[in-house]
Structure 1
Amino acid sequence: MMFVGLVAVVAAGGVLADYWSAHPAGITPEFVGRDTCAQCHQQELAAFTGSDHDKAMDVATETTVLGDFNDVTFEHDGLTNRLYRDGDRFMVHTEGEDGTMQEFEVKYVFGVYPLQQFMVEFDRDQDTDDCEIARLQVLRISWDSRDNRWFYLRPPDVDDKLAADDPLHWTGIAQRWQTMCADCHSTNLKRNFDPVTATYHTTFSEIDVSCEACHGPGSLHVELANESSLFWDRRYGYGLAKLKGDDAEPQLQTCAPCHSRRSVIEGDFQPGPNYCDHYRLETLGESTYFPDGQIKDEVYVYGSFIQSKMYHKGIRCTDCHDPHSLKLKHPGNETCTSCHQHAAGKYDVPSHHHHAPGSEGAKCVNCHMPHTTYMEIDPRRDHSLRIPRPDLSVQLGTPNACSHCHVKDQLAKIQPERRDDFAAMEYSQWLQAADQDGSEELGQDGQTLDELIEQTDRWCDEACDRWYGADRQRPEHFAEILVPLRRGEPGAATDALEKLSIQDERFPAIARATTLEELARRPVPGLTTVAAQLAKDPLEEPLVRAAAAGALATATPGTAKSKLLPMLQDESRLVRTSAARALLSSGAFNELSSSERTRLEGALREVHEELMQASDRSGAHMSWAMMLEQLGRFGEAIESYQTAIRVEPKTTGPRSNLANLLEQLAPRVSPQEREALQNRASKLRQQELPLMARDAKLAPNLAEIQYRYGLALYLDGQNDEALAQLEKAQELEPENPQFATAVKLLREKMDEAP
């Protein structure tokens, strides 16, 4: 018995030692590829194969190309394009970046359903390795894989033919794969842009969104799985991101980078709950979201979902979607009723939805996740999962799911010659038309488009009253704060400050951050106190604390300094960089001691890293140059402006800024050097003028662009032309005092001229 006991003790000790042993800290796993994963995970691979992730991008081959390249022609904007085969190559005869018709080879396909796009490689030379990709441009001629037809994917709100030098032209930077698409369509992508040569040497470990894009690099997992240990590693677990468990955040924040509208802070994201150390989520801007947080432009789900009650209850992506096939787990309403069962038939019945069974109005998603169509043929659902609120539409002018369908009931009232136009539009297009000219009289009895939409909202609101009576739900909503605040209504700012203490689905983090940004744009008593409280609250979301840091930039210098300096050491990179930006732009910057400036410049290095994540964009270098100017590092600022010009030669902004800087430096140098600086500044302004003229023509309704062009004309001595542009800016924004002052001063100067 003693021997048996001794064996048991030794065995237990061996098991304990086996458990306690661990791989050393600091291991950096490497990417191994899906073929390695498939050796053990055949079922997952089978589900993944053929999914949208699997077909996110591919080499153009007989198998992958869906479009018709059988020597067909396709016309748009007066251009006759030809799509044909040259042996194994897929060719397009279309307008090039110099405005002439040329032949281009399609190297890669992008996406699969409901549309497929096609990419052409530029700038490949002898310095580009076989494993690298040079600049890729995405053709606007696209394939509708639902109806099997070619179509031209226009930019939003652009009806005219694009000039070849327009950034929105298919050869322009807005259609560049590396700039706009690559991060989220390939695995382990490295952009590798060289600002000196303005060339790309882009690489990836796999061309599409493969296993390790979501689970992380797998070398350590493979090593651990092949060991003889009874346990996974005590330090590293199973060597991959832990996407399951009680906490939904690791999974949600793993999906979020590619399913959110954001900029990159730091480029080495690994799956897990560290989104805010790598990405700056876009808040509820007026161009991207409606004031109640419903989707307006493409926002890619995450910013919507974190507004939802579902999110606040711990629901995650895989509760509805299979993580490998990406398909819904259940058909139709079963996706919702698989959880929302409660009493039998409580929701999926006419007593709840008040529509005929089987009709569009009986589908859960049409009421709780209305869609908007992007890229002309791609309908996407709003993931804020809200109850329809036509009462808020009546009160605040926000959209609602009921009007999404019933706005078409107004067609009979529209003038016959315009009826077909609106019959072909979905709800989002009615709203867009109303934004552009809601006062247009479209009704046969003189009703405007705004009035027709409002009549629909009221009818829907009254129907909900009839249906639900006293049981109708009208929960408090942040739109009731945000809309009056944006309208500048009396007392709105005070109400907004009070509501910032709410931390649930009534006022989600993205809405609180948006509200702080709005408050920071106007003088609001008490903002500094509230922002300081939010900034130091360890339980508050990084998104909110970052916005609070931005709001503290408006505080008195002493307060800004005392509140923002400690935030430079915050554990969240998003908060640190936001505090550094705020401190630099605040009145406190000039009061910093030498040691405090050293601390700030340490944090600004992270800001520089953030900006250089977009080093292929002029704006990144121009923004850094402006910061360098403020830091007094003028030589580096000049270099950054020059890089901005080199990276995007056709972009306005950096030449004017550099000219201003050179003119400021001129009085500090010798007369000979001064003349050289002034001549250079004058040349830069001359180069900028045609670019500003182009922008003013492309954006005739943007007052700020017309104003800047007017100033540039004035500095060039073209007073008559300058006055016309400044007056145009004033007409577009008559309440802007800056525009009115500029017009007044220029008129006075011209009147005084001999």
Structure 2
Amino acid sequence: MRAVIQASFFFLIMVYGCAEDPAPRVTSKAIYTGAEACATCHLEAYKEWQGSLHLRSMQVPSVETVRGDFRQNNTYTYRGMTSRMFVREGTYFMETDGADGKREVYPIEYAIGDRDTQWYLTTLEGGRIQVLPAYWDVREQTWFDPVEGLFDHPQGFAPGDVNYWTNFGRNWNFQCHDCHASQIKKNYDPETGTYATHWTDLSINCETCHGPGGQHVAFWKALPDQVPARDTTLVNLQFLSSEQSVEVCAQCHAHKRIIKEGYQPGDPFYDFYELEVLDSEKFWADGRYRELNYNTLAFLMSSCYTAGHLTCAGCHDSHHLGPVRAEGETRAATYDRVCLDCHRVDVGEPVERHSNHKTVGCVDCHMPPVEEVKRIGIYDHRILSPVPENTVRFGIPNACNECHSDQTPNWAASWVKTWWGSQADEVAQAEAIALGRVGDPKALDGLIALSKDQSMVLRASAAVLLGRQTDDRAEKALIDALDDPHPMVRTRAVEGLMVYGSDAGIDAVIERLDDSSRLVRLRAASMLEGVNLSGDRGNKLSEALTEYRTMVADLLADDPEAQVQVGIDALQRGDDRAGEMAFRQALKVWPGMPDAYAGLGTVFIRNKQFSEAVKMWGEAAARDSALVAPLHHACELWETDIRNGFRTRPGTARDYTDLGDTYTLRDSLDVAIYWYRKAIESDPNYAVPYHNLALVCAEAGREEDAEAALNRYRQIAKDANAVRELEVLIRERKQRPDG
């Protein structure tokens, strides 16, 4: 059944896992005290932190914290939607369109951001904290709509869109909560669909990076004065490996899926998060970001990290969030100094001899701003040299042409080759990813090479893309990747082998059901569901699947994509009731989710409830045109079921109306009109076929027939509201350009 469903619509595969911690750490009970408890003993660090963006990641609105203009430049209109911001008796408000499109005033309870932009939040029914529709650009000192630079949706959002501000796509509790406060518990109740979200501090506090301080505080409070002692209840960040150190920052500064709450510094990162890799179109083929993203994945690909073991703290002061600037030093000079601390020998003196430019710094060429993201300052953390040849070949932006915009990429590539020689390796890497994404056989050699790269990100990316190849060498490389030391690579190798689909590959994945990493085990289990395993291997699969389903149900009840996957898994094991419940849970969180409607349509088809199936597939196809084909298939099944009924009894007006509906949904309007007229002949007082006939005739441009059917519907329909709604629908169809 899974093959049928997957041919119809896309499903997210969500798994959970962990990586073994290579470094010893002291564990302590997770008792959090909040940042204020740290100030007594660590006053200097506390004061530094108070000047950081970590403190200001999320704040209660006040004169001191609000950056937007709520008094003069306080009205903004985009695509017909006007928001007005104002202050009344010290409380901040935004007047804007609500869920029903009507004007309403909302109190602003929280502000997110401070440096580049500031966004404003309000709480709606059910504890849903929502991001309001206008935000303030700190640099340009004006208001904007989120679609201007952050969402690729220039026409704006309507109340039915998932990213309309009152809907799931702009819900802070699910979408934003892990990065804009500390020690957050969502506390989502799937039965009521409500949140009771709790946090320790509205900031990124000390314990986010240093771990829970409850035992640490208790230890020192209980100790008599002047008694020498050493507390070991906190992790010493200086003794973390470079990977663990970066992971402390990655809990916020990475594009990831949250798979478990409660991460502490030094914990196995992949117990709690799963990073995306370069099979995603969110990245250019060389790893540069194409949209709003975070710096960890790019940094993990940089040679500064893979070869030099540089960590975030090597450049960024952990309390200031940036290099500490010397007195009188410019920002550019500060960053040059930080880079030259490591690279002075290979760059040499003066720096101009290395760059062949007199007025550029290290960041200008090696960490240019990501221009695809507007209004938020994001710099490319791959820390690469510019590769204009990748612009020529794959359209990837390069730093040379971002300055020399009047010149061509070929011009820039010529100078780069003259000054610094061939960049064949960089081009080959981008080519392997770009061709691998579309399954081009020419990617094979490059992907095999990347599967042995120093970067975990490139190895994992190669593994998942090798699954789209058909050559036997791809299978061998994937089986080899199952022995990679990093769980992300083994996980993506499991995925690649299951897509590749060979018997040997599936056997190799089965052997990974007892992998040391839970991430790998559960990905293998989720992809092997439906495979009949017996004995010890069957028991291991069953155990892993049980844990997987429990975690999704408990932790991701408010994740509609995860709930759809739960529904798919239930259908695959023959539990239609559980599948239906999961799909309905997804719709509770995201009303209008096409995949959830498609899942319900599949449930109803399996149970021969064809009229309900057509309704669900109709809802799905109305929101995703790719689902029109399965809608037509459902209509055919319904038609066959109706006609089979004629073998044992005469057709009724309802039967003929239903047949008309199956043809309407397949855009066979003339046939639909025939069946609606036959329904009317069978029972002239049955109102439904008049209603549907009026709509179809209006759609077909047969205005007189539409008006006649509407007039008859007015006479026999008992619901005045239904009559008015039909009149509106017909009027709208007449006014459409193609009507």
Q: CA deviation at 1:598?
A: 3.1
Q: Give the structure 2 partner of residue 79 of structure 1.
A: 81
Check if 1:336 corresponds to 2:331: no
Q: CA deviation at 1:460?
A: 0.2
Q: Give the structure 1 partner of residue 493 of structure 2.
A: 548
Q: Quick one: which amino acid aligns to residue 152 of structure 2?
A: D
1:324–1:706 distance in 2 versus 1, CA, 3 Å: farther
Q: Quick one: which amino acid aligns to residue 38 of structure 1?
A: A
1:340–1:724 distance in 2 versus 1, CA, 3 Å: farther
- The counterpart of 1:565, out of the listed 490, 497, 510, is 510
Check if 1:527 corresponds to 2:474: yes
- The counterpart of 2:531, out of the listed 579, 590, 599, is 590
Q: CA deviation at 1:692?
A: 3.4
Check if 1:300 corresponds to 2:321: no
In 2, the alpha carbon distance for the partners of 1:209 and 1:655 equals 39
Q: Give the structure 2 partner of residue 363 of structure 1.
A: 361
Taking only aligned residues, the RMSD between alpha carbons, in angstroms, comes to: 2.8
Deviations 1:666-711 (CA, angstroms, capped at 9, x unpaired)? 4xxxxxxxxxxx1xx5235325535632444xxxxxxx35656666
Specify the SS of the correspondent of 1:184: coil
1:34–1:310 distance in 2 versus 1, CA, 3 Å: same
Aligned pairs for 1:233-244 (under 5 A) are: 238-244=232-238
Q: CA deviation at 1:496?
A: 2.5
Specify the SS of the correspondent of 1:183: coil
Q: Quick one: which amino acid aligns to residue 436 of structure 2?
A: L
- The counterpart of 1:685, out of the listed 614, 622, 634, is 614
Check if 1:48 corresponds to 2:49: yes
Deviations 1:77-101 (CA, angstroms, capped at 9, x unpaired)? 2233322222222111110011111
Q: Give the structure 1 partner of residue 545 of structure 2.
A: 604
- The counterpart of 2:460, out of the listed 513, 524, 535, is 513
Q: Give the structure 2 partner of residue 458 of structure 1.
A: 410
Q: Give the structure 1 partner of residue 121 of structure 2.
A: 119
Q: CA deviation at 1:245?
A: 3.0
Check if 1:629 corresponds to 2:624: no
Aligned pairs for 1:66-145 (under 5 A) are: 66-70=67-71, 72-123=74-125, 134-145=127-138
Check if 1:479 corresponds to 2:438: no
Report if the CA contact (8 A) 2:162-2:590 is conserved: no
Report if the CA contact (8 A) 1:253-1:274 is conserved: no
Check if 1:502 corresponds to 2:499: no
In 1, the alpha carbon distance for the partners of 2:85 and 2:145 equals 13
Q: Quick one: which amino acid aligns to residue 130 of structure 2?
A: Q
Deviations 1:299-326 (CA, angstroms, capped at 9, x unpaired)? 3011100100001111001111010111
- The counterpart of 1:280, out of the listed 274, 278, 303, is 274
Q: Quick one: which amino acid aligns to residue 384 of structure 1?
A: R
1:628–1:230 distance in 2 versus 1, CA, 3 Å: farther
In 2, the alpha carbon distance for the partners of 1:490 and 1:472 equals 25
Report if the CA contact (8 A) 1:169-1:175 is conserved: yes
Q: CA deviation at 1:119?
A: 0.5
Check if 1:317 corresponds to 2:299: no
Specify the SS of the correspondent of 2:230: coil
Q: Give the structure 2 partner of residue 730 of structure 1.
A: none
Report if the CA contact (8 A) 2:28-2:234 is conserved: no
Q: Give the structure 1 partner of residue 444 of structure 2.
A: 493
In 2, the alpha carbon distance for the partners of 1:255 and 1:161 equals 33
Q: Give the structure 2 partner of residue 575 of structure 1.
A: 520
1:399–1:708 distance in 2 versus 1, CA, 3 Å: farther
Specify the SS of the correspondent of 2:523: helix
Q: CA deviation at 1:337?
A: 1.5
- The counterpart of 2:592, out of the listed 646, 650, 665, is 650
Report if the CA contact (8 A) 2:94-2:106 is conserved: yes
Report if the CA contact (8 A) 1:265-1:574 is conserved: no
TM-score by length of 2: 0.76
1:246–1:208 distance in 2 versus 1, CA, 3 Å: closer
Q: Quick one: which amino acid aligns to residue 472 of structure 2?
A: P
Check if 1:617 corresponds to 2:559: yes
Deviations 1:17-48 (CA, angstroms, capped at 9, x unpaired)? xxxxxxx9975130011111111111111111
> Which segments of 5 or more consecutive residues in structure 1 lack a partner in the other structure?
1-23, 125-133, 411-455, 667-677, 697-703, 726-754
Q: Give the structure 1 partner of residue 391 of structure 2.
A: 393
Aligned pairs for 1:340-355 (under 5 A) are: 340-342=343-345, 346=348, 349-355=351-357
Specify the SS of the correspondent of 2:120: strand
Check if 1:182 corresponds to 2:134: no
Q: Give the structure 1 partner of residue 400 of structure 2.
A: 402
Q: CA deviation at 1:63?
A: 2.5
In 2, the alpha carbon distance for the partners of 1:475 and 1:375 equals 27
Q: Quick one: which amino acid aligns to residue 290 of structure 1?
A: W
Q: Give the structure 2 partner of residue 742 of structure 1.
A: none
In 2, the alpha carbon distance for the partners of 1:286 and 1:484 equals 13
In 1, the alpha carbon distance for the partners of 2:521 and 2:629 equals 35
Check if 1:216 corresponds to 2:211: yes
Deviations 1:483-507 (CA, angstroms, capped at 9, x unpaired)? 343455544324533x155232xxx
Q: Give the structure 1 partner of residue 247 of structure 2.
A: 253
1:107–1:713 distance in 2 versus 1, CA, 3 Å: farther
Report if the CA contact (8 A) 2:514-2:540 is conserved: no
Deviating more after overlay: 521-530 vs 249-258:
521-530
1:558–1:353 distance in 2 versus 1, CA, 3 Å: closer
Q: Give the structure 2 partner of residue 34 of structure 1.
A: 35
Report if the CA contact (8 A) 2:557-2:585 is conserved: no
Report if the CA contact (8 A) 2:567-2:583 is conserved: yes
Deviations 1:596-633 (CA, angstroms, capped at 9, x unpaired)? 33321221233225534332132221111111221233
Q: CA deviation at 1:657?
A: 1.6
Q: How many residues align?
A: 606
In 2, the alpha carbon distance for the partners of 1:200 and 1:116 equals 24
Q: Quick one: which amino acid aligns to residue 340 of structure 1?
A: H
Report if the CA contact (8 A) 1:713-1:722 is conserved: yes
1:270–1:606 distance in 2 versus 1, CA, 3 Å: farther
Matched-pair identity in %: 28
> Which segments of 5 or more consecutive residues in structure 2 lack a partner in the other structure?
1-24, 326-333, 639-660, 670-739
Q: Give the structure 1 partner of residue 164 of structure 2.
A: 169
- The counterpart of 1:195, out of the listed 190, 194, 198, is 190
Deviations 1:240-290 (CA, angstroms, capped at 9, x unpaired)? 233213721221111112111111222221112521221111011342111
Q: Which has the higher contact order (CA 8 A, sep 6+)?
A: 2
1:397–1:487 distance in 2 versus 1, CA, 3 Å: farther
Q: Quick one: which amino acid aligns to residue 416 of structure 2?
A: C
